[in-house]
Chain A
Amino acid sequence: MIDLTYLVAAISFGSLLTSTLTFSAPLILGALGGLCSERSGVINIGLEGKMLAAACATGYIAQASQNPILGLTAGIFVATLLAMLHWTLTQTYRIDHIISGMGINALCAGGTSLISKTFPELGSKQMAAFSIYVYWLCAWTAVIAIWWILKSTRGGLRLYAVGNDPDKSRQMGIKPGKVRLQALLGTGLLTGLAGALIVTNAGSFSDGMTSGRGYIALAALILGGWRPWPTLIAAVLFGLFDSLQLQLQGQPLFGQVIPGEFWQALPYLVTLIALAGIAGKSRAPAGLGKP
């Protein structure tokens, strides 16, 4: 057995816990945003774009107004607007869900980049923001709330039903379009929070700052089998490996110096392996993408 204790010794467990919580919180929020959408049958590959746009709006409005409430509200508003755009495109105009989601991602990546380059002076001021603990609380409360909604409310049952079979749900007097609208409002709220959290953590907006976390959130959702608690576990697992890789940067492995890129790739690698190994057993909502 090769001795890896020196690696363990390099880990500071106190800061590991805090950074795991920090890294996992936006993933939890983003993944739950995706859960609302995908449980209702709307494929949502556009989490990344919504989070990025929300981060941009929150960052700049909070700097300009020096008001954290306005900043957060702006972030949620923009993410919700994008969620409604996704709803309109997929439900009213019946555009393919993946294409609509990719379009939203492209729009947000380009739009936020344009804003940050056009108004560079925006980023100079200190950003007024809520404490990061508020967002942690939101993330963990959201898990409990969504779990409860799915388990014991009318809305949760209808969400399941519409996501599994919109046609049969329609026969039971349920309007899939309406259920999906409500679900996407939830997506807007949660991805808005996720974006606001990311920008709050960094202190100001920078171009492309979500750096794929919307996709990782989606992966956590799939890994969690579209269920709230397993999704939480998947998001925390990813957050844990993301924090680990930061602490292990520069540490040699088996006497070799390992490039930093290897450590950076670790959380993605773990997620990939976990997805390939476990996701096969999870069951996607049967009505994903159906009109």
Chain B
Amino acid sequence: MTHAVQMIGITKLFGSVEALRDVDLTVQSGHIHAIVGENGAGKTTLMKVLYGAHQASEGQIKLNGEPVSFRDSKEAIAAGIGMVSQHYSIIPELTCLQNLVLGAEPGPVISYAAAESRANELAKQMGFQFNWHEEASEISPSQGQKLEILKLLWRNAKILILDEPTAMLAPDDADLLYAKLHELTEQGATVLVVTHRLPEVMEHCDEVTVLRGGKLIDSCPVSQTNPAELAEKMVGQAVTEHSPIPCNPGETLLAVRNLVVKGDKGNDAVKDASFELKSGELVGIAGVDGNGQRELFYALMGTRHSSGEIYLGNQNLTNASTAERIQAGIRLIAEDRHNEAVIEDWSIADNAILGLQRTNRVLAGRSINRNTQAELAKNVTETFPTKFDNVNQRFRDLSGGNQQKVVAARSLQESPQVVLAFQPTRGIDLYVAGLVYDGLIKATREGATVLVVSFDLDELMTYCDRILVMNHGEIAEVPAELRQDRSAIGRMMVGAE
């Protein structure tokens, strides 16, 4: 058995910050090798070193036993390495075919007819179908993921690095993807998968390497480990299983009837959605990204026009402004933290009251009550353990994980009635993710209701009292007996059931 990749003693410094310390990685040819670890563990950095996007400060890389060193990704691509990063590299304004060939064009003049026939061959080999002349902005995230993989094959990559490849896929699509990856490895390719989904590792991968805090913790065949052990190694302490607190739903708090919301392209992104959230429950919305979750949240916050009815208790919020909704107790953990949740150049203290500026205790006459602000600034940094210097420092200077903690904590201030949480644990590690959910659950037990959108089905299955599924703008409820049935929910997500 040959070693497709050997990384020996890799250390990577960003300025004085050590992202990787003396990490070894050995990947056997023809295997699917998983790299697991929490956010900030150095998984992506290690892969970027292999891909030539970062240069190691120390250490050596060998491909099939031959020492190599890449000054940039171009050289790594030439050596047969391809990487699909977490943030897609597909350019929406180009067609699928243009995206496929970009950066690896067959010559100075491109024959798109010839390119298309090779593209079709590659697609057929993987069992994918593409309308190559469609603009990439039109394709679904899962099509995008498939296109990314074809891009690697177009470049004749023999070593494929996939960073969180299933983050945007429904479970069945994810299984299909791994099946195809297995076919590729049988033909001699080697696959490295960066993931945080342990069930996926157990089911589909051959070996697993665990990183924590930039250091190598363990590397072993998947058959010799189990999810609990992996989770413990990732976190560095035993992960306590979330034990569900029994839910005692009270009165209906938020009632949505026949809600229709237009999408960016003028289509109906949310179609005639009706659902009710009761006091005391945490309800999850499962679904593949782009099925109307975003538009639903915009409509509930009142930042996008919608038709239908929205009631909070007896209060009709259908035509209420966003300000009135916040005053009524609706809170948001926005999806796009930088653009929708905070003003990064403001201080933590100012961001702590951002959005809450019209609530009773914050507003003193026409000015801000500075005592309340100080109290809230203290609360938002203490609700979840946040690393910061002082509340007057710029929000921008917090790390991503700490920013998310503050945003999540802010939504729990000033007696929330309804918390709308869009991927509330994005960018934070497992331990803190657990704390955030505990915080949300605590709010529900105090009488609020929480609606969570997540693309991580396991997360929803762990924490939610009820699960709704959103598919092409339609909302359906997962029957109680299927709430722990991953594949049944997965089929509902893509409308197969």
**A160-B98, A171-B73, A171-B85 known; A153 vs B109 contact (CB < 8 Å):** yes
Whether A125 sits at the interface, judged by CB under 8 Å, is no
Q: Is B108 close to A, CB under 8 A? A: yes
B102 touches A158 (CB 8 A): yes
In the complex, A165 Cα to B102 Cα: how many Å? 12
Nearest Cβ on chain B to A173's Cβ, whole angstroms: 4
A154 at the A/B interface (Cβ < 8 Å)? yes
B9 to chain A, nearest CB (A): 27
Q: Which chain A residues lie closer than 8 Å to B73 at the CB level?
A: 171, 173
Complex: A165 Cα to B87 Cα, angstroms: 13
Is A153's CB under 8 angstroms from B110's CB?
Answer: yes
Chain B residues with CB under 8 A of A153:
108-110
What's the interface size class on B, roughly? 20 to 34
In the complex, B121 has a CB within 8 A of chain A: no
Report the bound CA distance from A189 to B361 in whole Å: 64
Q: Is A157 an interface residue (CB 8 A)?
A: yes
| A-side contacts of B111, CB under 8 Å | 152
Counting CB contacts under 8 A, is A85 at the interface?
no
Q: Which residues of B contact A157 (CB under 8 A)?
A: 94, 98, 101-102, 105, 110
Residues of A within 8 A of B72 (CB): 173
What mask results when residues 71 to 100 of chain B are scored 1 for a CB within 8 Å of chain A, else 0?
011100100000001001111111000100
Give A3-43 interface residues, CB cut-off 8 Å to B. none
Interface of B is mostly: loop
* Interface check A286, CB cutoff 8 A: yes
* A169–B93 CA distance with the chains assembled, in angstroms: 12
Q: Are B109 and A169 in contact (CB under 8 A)?
A: no
Please determine whether B102 and A164 come into contact, CB atoms closer than 8 angstroms: no
Complex contacts, B112 vs chain A, CB 8 Å: 152
Determine the distance from Cα of A157 to Cα of B94 in the docked complex, in whole angstroms.
9
**Assembled-state Cα–Cα distance A46/B104 (Å):** 33
- Is A55 in contact with chain B by the CB < 8 A criterion? no
Within 8 A of A (CB), among B135-152: none
| CA gap between A157 and B112 in the complex, in Å | 11
Question: Are the CB atoms of A168 and B110 closer together than 8 Å?
Answer: no
Q: Tell me if A260 counts as interface (CB < 8 A to partner B).
A: no
How near does chain B come to A154, taking the closest CB pair, in angstroms? 4
Residues of A near B102 (CB, < 8 A) are: 157-158, 161, 169, 172, 174
A173: contacting residue among B74, B92, B101, B109, CB under 8 A: B74
Q: Which of B74, B88, B93, B103 contacts A286 (CB 8 A)?
A: B93
A154 to B107 alpha-carbon distance, docked (Å)? 7
Chain B contacts with A in 2-59, Cβ cutoff 8 A: 53
Residue of B with least CB distance to A158: B102
C-beta contact mask, B406-441 vs A, less than 8 Å → 1, else 0? 000000000000000000000000000000000000
B-contact 0/1 string along A158-193, CB 8 Å cutoff = 101100110011011110000000000000000000
- Give A contacts to B, CB under 8 Å: 152-155, 157-158, 160-161, 164-165, 168-169, 171-174, 283, 285-286
Across the A-B interface, the 3 shortest Cβ-Cβ residue pairs: A172-B103, A173-B74, A154-B105
Write 17 A-B pairs (CB below 8 A) sorted by A numbering.
Answer: A152-B110, A152-B111, A153-B108, A153-B109, A153-B110, A154-B105, A154-B110, A157-B98, A160-B94, A161-B102, A164-B94, A168-B90, A168-B91, A169-B102, A172-B89, A174-B102, A283-B93
